[in-house]
Amino acid sequence: MKNSTLQAFTERIKPVWGPLSTEVVDQSRRQLEGLLKAPDAEEWLEALHQEGPANKELYRDPSHGFILLAHTEQAGQYRPPHDHGRGWVIYGVQQGEMEIGTYARVQEPDGSGRLVLRETYLLRPGETRVYLPGDIHDTRCTTRCTTRCTTGPVLYYRFTDRDLKKEESEGHKITRYVQSNGVWTGGASCQLS
């Protein structure tokens, strides 16, 4: 990682890190956008393209706890609506395109809940999107490619403010919604991969 864009990413976030704030989110997002511009020839990025890992931790900050993960997913792979509990996350696409839907949870008169789709958009190479605590979204790696991407798998980064697997193991709920009769409802504790 010596003198790489990845090293620069981690070094530039540390001095601005703190509790969730507009500034921390903005600086983190800008740094992730910079990482998305890394030359393919950098050793760590070249390895990601060759290995195509489903889930690879690129960096975990020992002091602040933020984590940068890389994910490779095949076209058509779908992750149902979910949130990240108390955590916040930034997705950034390096290669391919990811379709993301955002949702609002609506309470029914009987106390049950259902999701209403707010919007669907494509996250393209070089683009990022922030999800704050409680934001509900789904992801689908698209088979269509409208910009400077390849038709193969999607490679994206997920920057999280905390270890979401640890959160769940400590009893902090991360919710995944289920579809019943065409309606996204309820929610269950989500097993993170």
| Domain ranges across the chain | 5-189
Per the listing, tokens 């997705």 go with 91
- The separation between CA 125 and the C-alpha centre of its own chain, rounded to angstroms, equals 14
Question: How many angstroms separate the CA atoms of 108 and 27, rounded?
Answer: 38
Range 5-189 has CATH code 3.30.2270.10: no
Three-state DSSP at 166 gives: helix
For the beta carbon of residue 93, count every other beta carbon within 10 angstroms: 24
| Residue 109, pLDDT score | 87
How confident is the model at residue 176, as a pLDDT? Answer: 83
11 SS3 class: helix
Residue 193 pLDDT: 38
CB burial of 120-155 (b: ≥16 within 10 Å; e: otherwise) equals eebbbbebbbebeeebbbbbbbbeebeeebeeebbb
**What is the model's pLDDT at position 192?**
39
Residue 161's contacts (CB-CB under 8 Å, 6 or more residues apart) are 20, 65, 66, 87, 88, 89
pLDDT at residue 146, as a whole number: 54
pTM beyond 0.85: yes
User: Residues 33-80: pLDDT tens digits?
Assistant: 999 999 999 999 999 999 999 999 999 999 999 999 999 998 888 999
pLDDT value of residue 150: 47
Q: Which pair of tokens denotes residue 100?
A: 């993301």
Mark the ranges of the chain whose per-residue pLDDT is less than 70: 1-3, 143-152, 187-193
